[in-house]
Chain A
Amino acid sequence: MMRQAVGASAPTLENFYREHRSWLENWLRCRLGNAWDAADLSQDTFVRVLASQHSEPLHGLREPRAYLLTVGKRLLINHYQRRSLEQAYLQALATLPETVIPSPEQRWVLLETLQALDELLDALPLAVRRAFLWAQLEGLSYAQIAERLKVSERTVKRYMAQAYTHCLMLEP
Chain B
Amino acid sequence: MNNQAQTRQIAEDAAHFLVLLESGTASADDRARLQRWREQSAHHEQTWQKAQGLRQRFATLPPELAMASLDRPDLGRRTALKRALIVAALLPAGWMLAQQAPIAALRADMRTAAGDRRDIRLQYGSLLQLDTASALNIELEQGKRLLTLIEGEMALNMGKDVKAMTIKTRQGRVQVSGAELCVRQLDDGCLISVWRGDVELFPEHGPSMRLQPGQRATMSAAQVSPAQPFDTRQPGWRQGVLSVENQPLGVFLAELSRYRPGILRWEPELERLNVTGTFRLDDTDQILQLLAASLGLQVHSRTRYWVTLAPGKASV
Chain B residues with CB under 8 Å of A81's CB are 78
Contact B68 A30 (CB under 8 A): no
Whether a CB of chain A sits under 8 angstroms from the CB of B47 is: yes
**Contact of B106 with A168 in the complex, beta carbons under 8 Å:** no
Determine the residue in chain B with the shortest Cβ distance to A172: B50
Whether A93 pairs with B65 at a CB distance below 8 angstroms is: yes
CB distance from B298 to the nearest CB of A (A): 27
**Could you tell me the distance in whole angstroms from the C-beta of B118 to the nearest C-beta in chain A?**
9
B100 touches A171 (CB 8 A): no
Q: What sequence of 0s and 1s flags, for each residue 66-100 of chain B, a beta carbon within 8 Å of any chain A beta carbon?
A: 11111111111111011001001100011011001
- How many chain-B residues does the 8 Å CB contact rule pick out? 54
* A137-B67, A164-B14 known; A33 vs B97 contact (CB < 8 Å): yes
Question: Given A76-B85, A88-B72, A118-B70, are A168 and B11 neighbors across the interface (CB < 8 Å)?
Answer: yes
Number of interface residues of A (CB under 8 A): 50
Is B54 a contact of A168 with CB atoms below 8 Å?
yes
Instruction: A93 to B69: give the CA distance in the assembly, Å.
Output: 10
Partner of B78, one of A80, A162, A169: A80
**Which of A88, A138, A153, A168 is the one whose CB lies under 8 Å from B69?**
A88
B22 touches A92 (CB 8 A): no
Q: A residues bordering B, Cβ < 8 Å?
A: 27, 30-31, 33, 69, 73, 76-77, 80-81, 84-85, 87-89, 91-93, 95-96, 100, 102, 110, 113-114, 117-118, 121, 126, 129-130, 133, 135-138, 141-142, 153, 157, 160-165, 167-169, 171
Can you give 21 contacting A-B residue pairs, CB < 8 Å?
Answer: A31-B85, A69-B89, A81-B78, A93-B65, A96-B65, A117-B70, A118-B69, A118-B70, A126-B75, A129-B71, A136-B55, A137-B63, A137-B66, A138-B67, A157-B23, A160-B22, A161-B12, A161-B15, A161-B18, A165-B11, A165-B14
Interface residues of B (CB under 8 A from A): 7-8, 10-12, 14-16, 18-19, 22-24, 47, 50-51, 53-55, 57-59, 61-79, 81-82, 85, 88-89, 93-94, 96-97, 100, 106, 120-121
* Pairs of residues from A and B, 10 with the lowest C-beta to C-beta distance, nearest first: A92-B68, A164-B15, A88-B72, A136-B58, A168-B11, A89-B69, A165-B15, A161-B15, A137-B63, A165-B11
